[in-house]
Amino acid sequence: MAGLLGDWLSLLLRWAHIVAAIGWIGSSFYFMWLDASLKRRAGMDTGVKGENWTVHGGGFYHTQKYMVAPDAMPDDLHWFKWESYSTWLSGFALLAVTYYWHASSLLIDPAVADLVPWQAVLLSMISLAAGWVLYDWLCDSRLRDRPVAVFAILFAALVLMSWGFAQVFSARAAFLHVGAVIATIMSANVFLVIIPNQKIVVADLKAGRTPDPVYGQIAKLRSTHNNYLTLPVIFMMISNHYPFTYGHPYAPVIVAGVLVLGVVVRNWFNLYEGGAQGLAIRWQWPLAAALVAGLALFSAWRPDRVALAAEVGGAEALGIAQAHCVACHAARPTAEGFTEAPAGVTLETIADLRRHAAQVRLQAILSDAMPLGNPTGMTPDERARLGAWIDAGMPD
């Protein structure tokens, strides 16, 4: 019963996290589009950057943006902040319930680093804070007037962190933590910079002072960073279902490719929505397609694949599965914490193994995702032999 309650908690938190993320990402994309669509016209009030007319839900909307602030504080002002806060809070709760609660099997891989759960959890939380501290320092450093340089250094730091995570966590957790660091940076931007700066502007308005435009400029820069980081963080969120990403021996290369891919795609949308034409919006999609093809080919390349000198028969393949997989993937699992076979996949017979060969290939051959935490010590040679049997057509 405890296991079922844990699964329900995880499911509800995942649901809440996705719903909150939809709200946050939707508002982020909307306001980037809104900024790009603003048009100037004669007769606008002083300080108005532009206006936008839209139609939706049977009505018309008229929006104006003030570059710093209006002359007087409006009676009712909506703050877009809880979308961000609820996304991070639900995400951290999900991280805690899934990876911290089950640290010994999901967060830790003894073959990578023989940590005890509290050490792994502490490293995880420190890394989230460290990512924000580094990013915030970059934004406040002498490079603050060179946003491209800041973003390039952040890119290099995230790739380096993905390598570092792979030295201490399981492959699945290492990949996910890159996304968690990005998400922490994005939400901290809202909580620690964007909203406080807006509150300073509001306080100046209420006191009758002229707000300093620098606060809006800083908030705009951080919002732009969040916009470009959105697509990569979504990829990291869903990657735990695809072991050919996080389970690759050179997963940091995939992280680097995904970061570039997300920025390229987002750049097209931002330029297109801003009215750009010609070459400025023609290079992104060909490059994105090339990046996707390159990532797919790279994910299929396994430099650590062991060369085999003899064919592998069905009896040997089944023996490998029974030694390393059946504790979880059985009608009656014996592994602690499992009351039924994950995803309904049983591997107790040769027929089971043939039926689920595609999943086995993805989870245990093209990646080291399974066995979970590798408690049975499945070796590269065993993975190679099981993979060779599948590739050979699964002979008797």
Residue that finishes a domain, picked among 299, 331, 353: 299
Number of structural domains the chain divides into: 2
| Same domain? 273 vs 341 | no
Q: Is residue 49 part of a domain?
A: yes
- What angle do helix axes 117-140 and 171-188 make, rounded to 10 degrees? 40
Q: Is residue 309 part of a domain?
A: no
What predicted TM-score, i.e. pTM, was given to this entire model?
0.84
Residue with structure tokens 């060909």?
A: 286
Residue 308 is predicted with a pLDDT of 63
Residue 304 is predicted with a pLDDT of 65
Residue 285 is predicted with a pLDDT of 96
DSSP assignment of 229-254, as one string?
HHHHHHHHHHGGG-HHHHTSTTHHHH
CA distance 101 to 180: 17
Domain span including residue 241: 2-299
Residue 309 is predicted with a pLDDT of 53
| Same domain? 95 vs 164 | yes
Q: Is residue 353 part of a domain?
A: yes
Tens digits of pLDDT across the chain (396 residues): 556 677 888 889 999 999 999 999 888 888 888 888 888 887 777 778 888 888 888 888 888 888 777 777 777 778 888 999 999 999 999 999 999 998 888 899 888 888 999 999 999 999 999 999 999 999 988 887 888 888 899 999 999 999 999 999 998 999 999 999 999 999 999 999 999 988 888 888 777 788 788 887 888 888 889 999 999 999 998 888 888 898 888 999 999 999 999 999 999 998 988 888 899 999 999 999 999 999 999 988 877 666 665 688 888 888 998 889 888 898 888 887 777 888 788 888 899 889 998 888 888 887 777 887 778 888 888 888 888 888 888 888
Convert 167-188 to b/e letters by CB count within 10 Å (16 or more is b).
Answer: ebbbbbbbbbbbbbbbbbbbbb
| Same domain? 146 vs 35 | yes
| Three-state SS at 175 | helix
Residue that finishes a domain, picked among 299, 334, 362: 299
| Same domain? 55 vs 120 | yes
Q: Is residue 31 part of a domain?
A: yes
Residue 305 is predicted with a pLDDT of 66
Burial class (CB in 10 A: 0-12, 13-18, 19+), 57: exposed
| Same domain? 87 vs 164 | yes
| Same domain? 174 vs 208 | yes
Residue 307 is predicted with a pLDDT of 61
Q: Is residue 40 part of a domain?
A: yes
